[in-house]
Each structure stands twice: as C-alpha cells, then as structure tokens.
Structure 1
C-alpha cells in the first residue's frame, strides 16, 4: 500500500476515535447527572464520572502533569509512526487508535480540567473495573494491536537476537 494510503488509515482511525469519544462524552455530560448510574445489563452500567487523575484515577487533582504526559505520548506516537521501518496497515491503524484515544482524553483535560468516564463493567460480585471511555478503550486496543503488528513483522525477534548477539 502506498504511503498516502497508510497515512489515511492512521488519520481515519484517529479521527474516528476522537469523534466517537467526544460525542459519547458530550451525551453523558448532557444526559446523566454526575455520579448517576444507569444499568444496561447485569455487568454493564453507564455512569457519569469525572477523572481528575491519571489512569484508574491515580493522583487525583493533578492538572499539568497529565496534560504534559499526554502531549509527550502523542509526540512519541507520531515519532513511532514516522520512524517505524515496517509500516503496515495494522501498525497504522493501531497507532491511529492510540493517537485518537490520547487526543480525546487530552481534549477533555484542556477543556474541562478532567476526563469524562462513563463505561462501568462489573466483572464479578461487587468488583467493578474502574470507569473508562471510548478513548481509553482505543488506547488499550491500540497497544495490543501495535504489539501484535511488531510481532507479525518480526521486529521483536530482530531486537531479541540483536540484544543476545551483543551480550555474547
């Protein structure tokens, strides 16, 4: 596939996630009171949660550190996309998911001072996974797909063998 096609995959994945993330968060803010829980199934609730911290609500109340971290992550994603020796459709989609998810959450932090989370999964009994949003889900999916794309292209094997050769 041509370089323009690869770039298009990256941009479509990123833009799709940003739009989905922001539209769903807007719906939550307009339709659910803060803290409101709306059961959907036996294991899924919609909630309105404001995350002022990092992942899983760690370090609540931080403002500049999560913003700086998000900007650094976005730069790293762009550098990875630019310098990746084997640019496949899968690597471009995965990096687009990462970029879109991180951008969606950064938009929240810059505009609102917190990230809107609304998906609440009950895994068993009373254990709930920390609330998340579509941007978060895209980041997780992007990481998994990116690692898989590196495995498929043999990059992990080349790095492993190169590292072992230099130690021997």
Structure 2
C-alpha cells in the first residue's frame, strides 16, 4: 500500500519540480528546442483542462479533483492490494490529479511545458503524462480483468 502512495508522491514532486524549473528558466510563451522537430519546452499557462476546455472553471476543477482523489484512495484501500497494475494505475492518476490541483489552487492556472513538434497536440506537463499513462494502464487492467473473468466463466460451465 505504501508503494502506491510513494508513486503518487514522486509524481507530484517531479511535476512540481519541472513546473518550477520551467517558470524559472523559460519566459512565458517562449520555446526552447530540445530535440529538433520532435520535442521542445514552452512555458505555457492553462486555465482549463486538455485543449483548454472548461477554461477558467476553477471551482469545478477543485470539486472534481477532491472527489476523484477520494474515490482513488477508497479503491486503493479496497482493491489496490489485489492487483499491482490496478494500484499503480490509480497511483499515477492520483499523482497527476494532485500535481495539477496544486497549480490550480495556488496559481489559478496549470503550468505546461512539453510541446510535441511533430503533431498539433496541446502543451502538457508531468502530471498530464502521469494521468495519461495511469488511464492507459487502467484500460489495460480492465481488459485483462474482463478476459480473466470470461475465461473463468467459460471453464466453470
């Protein structure tokens, strides 16, 4: 159980560190090329979610984040111990949600910095990466779990 909370804390720490370094090192809206035509770093402020949806709706984000983190803690304690993939996916989602929540709470926007140069995609941060990876792992877990249940039912008949 402690491992899952440690993963979330590490994600929050990395997220806040990279945001701090971005704010200190890159002027707002400036871009630093890292890998040409692939990845650059851009200091960006986002008052919404991905693609700036629900821009400026901070109260909504506060409420949703608190509810989601509460649900994640419940599931970590009730089901997280039963499957590591499920627990890790919840940990990544929780760490990402808390990382962006900290920005919204104290800054009223989220600091984003990673820009993919080869595709028209929103600028994102470590918290966003953790959320995306966590959701992907959750989908994998659900597919595998459903397949296991299907196999058990098939064998039982």
Q: State the TM bucket, normalised to the shorter chain.
A: 0.7 to 0.9
**Aligned counterpart in structure 2 of residue 33 of structure 1, from 27, 30, 35:** 27
Q: Residues 85, 43 of structure 1: CA spacing in aligned structure 2 closer, same or farther, 3 A cutoff?
A: closer
What TM-score does the superposition give when structure 1 sets the normalisation length? 0.81
**Aligned counterpart in structure 1 of residue 126 of structure 2, from 112, 117, 134:** 134
Q: Residues 8, 85 of structure 1: CA spacing in aligned structure 2 closer, same or farther, 3 A cutoff?
A: closer
Q: Give the match's secondary structure for 1:59.
A: coil
What TM-score does the superposition give when structure 2 sets the normalisation length? 0.87
- The answer to whether the 8 Å contact 1:44/1:120 transfers is yes
Question: What's 1:9 paired with?
Answer: 3
Q: Which runs of 5+ in 2 are unaligned?
A: none
Q: Give the match's secondary structure for 1:38.
A: strand
- The answer to whether the 8 Å contact 2:31/2:42 transfers is yes
Write the distance in 2 (CA, Å) between the matches of 1:10 and 1:70.
Answer: 18
**Aligned counterpart in structure 2 of residue 102 of structure 1, from 69, 73, 97:** 97
What are the within-5 Å matches in structure 2 for residues 114-153 of structure 1? 114-123=109-118, 127-152=119-144
Q: Which runs of 5+ in 1 are unaligned?
A: 1-6, 163-168
Write the distance in 2 (CA, Å) between the matches of 1:63 and 1:11.
Answer: 26
Q: Residues 83, 35 of structure 1: CA spacing in aligned structure 2 closer, same or farther, 3 A cutoff?
A: same
Q: How far apart are 1:128 and its partner, in Å?
A: 2.4
Q: Paired residues, what number?
A: 151
The superposition leaves residues 25-73 of structure 1 with CA deviations (integer Å, 9 ceiling, x where unpaired) of 0000111111011111111110011110122211222221111111121
RMSD: 2.1
Q: How far apart are 1:80 and its partner, in Å?
A: 2.2
Runs (4+) off by over 4 Å: none
